[in-house]
Amino acid sequence: MKEVVGTERDPRERAAAIIQQYLDREGIRHQRSGEWEWLVEMEGEVRRSVTALIVLGERTVLVESFFMRRPPQNEAEFYRYLLAKNLGFYLYRFAVDELGDVYLLAQVPIACLDEDELDRLLGTLLTYSDGSFNPALRIAYASELMGDGEGRGD
């Protein structure tokens, strides 16, 4: 039986205790970046490091991870690929900021957060980030990866 942590009256305190206990027990590198925020660094298989920000809001838990800078080429194909990936993702979605940089985001109700859901959120992030990275890279940097010199000033 899992230990009950935090208080029932304050969902954020309960969720914060779950997150801290989970990260400590699993040995996941992390640091507090605010009262309700954790910066987490995990090792991927394709990507050496996947960093995520976990933020406890009043009613939701947000997990945000930088994925890739704006593509230097093939933007339409690149973003189309990411949007198509969104259709098959559980909880996560690709999002773009005002510069065109890409993030993976997930948001769940704070009341749903337990250690199993946190494990699922972080494991899914690693799976999606690793599984999508090389195909996205091939689209975004096609000419450099194919060695035709295009885009390098050759």
pLDDT at position 144 is 79
Q: Which residues are bridge partners to 42 per DSSP?
A: 50
What pLDDT, on a 0 to 100 scale, did the predictor assign at position 147?
61
What is d(CA 4, CA 32) in angstroms, rounded to the nearest whole number? Answer: 22
What pLDDT is stored for residue 68 in this prediction? 96
Cβ(136)–Cβ(73) under 8 Å?
A: no
**How far apart are alpha carbons 151 and 143 in whole angstroms?**
7
Q: Give pLDDT, residue 8.
A: 58
pLDDT for the residue numbered 1: 45
User: pLDDT tens, position by position, for the chain (154 residues)?
Assistant: 455 554 456 899 999 999 999 999 999 999 999 999 999 999 999 999 999 999 999 999 999 999 999 999 999 999 999 999 999 999 999 999 999 999 999 999 999 999 999 999 999 999 999 999 999 999 999 887 766 544 433 3
- pTM for the full predicted model: 0.85
